[in-house]
Structure 1
């Protein structure tokens, strides 16, 4: 699956999990429980070249994967990430 780099608008619930998004002028509502995508914590990046043994670098939520549906029933699984300013669509699974 190729990685996309499209901007999307995302609305979150009280817990911070995505509740809906707008992609290509279409609104999709989240229809399952979002799964956090984890990556190395930002504050660890300057230390990334060092060996973190025994263990691994600390992780943080880097994005979300969730199923969402449009009003007409069109449904996809979306991977999104935040670049510090904007939400980006990373992948779409049909």
Structure 2
């Protein structure tokens, strides 16, 4: 599913470790993969350097999803989730 939702992301040594998304707390439960501009499926409205991460995260109830997140000017956004 494609979404464009702001997320609060905590980093450890510049790698995602935890986040708050959709009102839930998530813990990164695999090794995140850095994403570069070439992987984004939607064109950007303004040219800029875009990077992000793909990782699996698990919430407090044990639900796990894979997330693609990217850094905008001042915050992080979830671009896509995979069940």
Q: TM-score range by the shorter chain?
A: 0.7 to 0.9
Instruction: Kindly indicate which of the two structures has a greater share of residues assigned to strand.
Output: 2
Residue of structure 2 in register with 1:85 after alignment = 74
Q: Find the residue that maps to 2:8 and give its secondary structure.
A: strand
How many residues align structurally? 75
Q: Pick from 27, 30, 45: which aligns with 2:28?
A: 30
Using the TM superposition, give the Cα deviation of residue 3 of structure 1 relative to its aligned residue in structure 2, in angstroms: 2.4
Residue of structure 2 in register with 1:68 after alignment = 57
Matches of 2:22 and 2:67, distance apart in 1: 13
Decide which structure has the larger Cα Rg and report it. 1
4+ residue stretches of structure 1 with deviation over 3 A? none
Q: Find the residue that maps to 2:3 and give its secondary structure.
A: coil
Instruction: Confirm or deny: 8 A CA contact 2:50 2:72 kept in the other structure.
Output: no
For the aligned residue pairs, the C-alpha RMSD in angstroms reads 1.9
Q: Find the residue that maps to 2:30 and give its secondary structure.
A: coil
Consecutive unaligned residues of structure 2, counting only runs of 5 or more, are 39-46
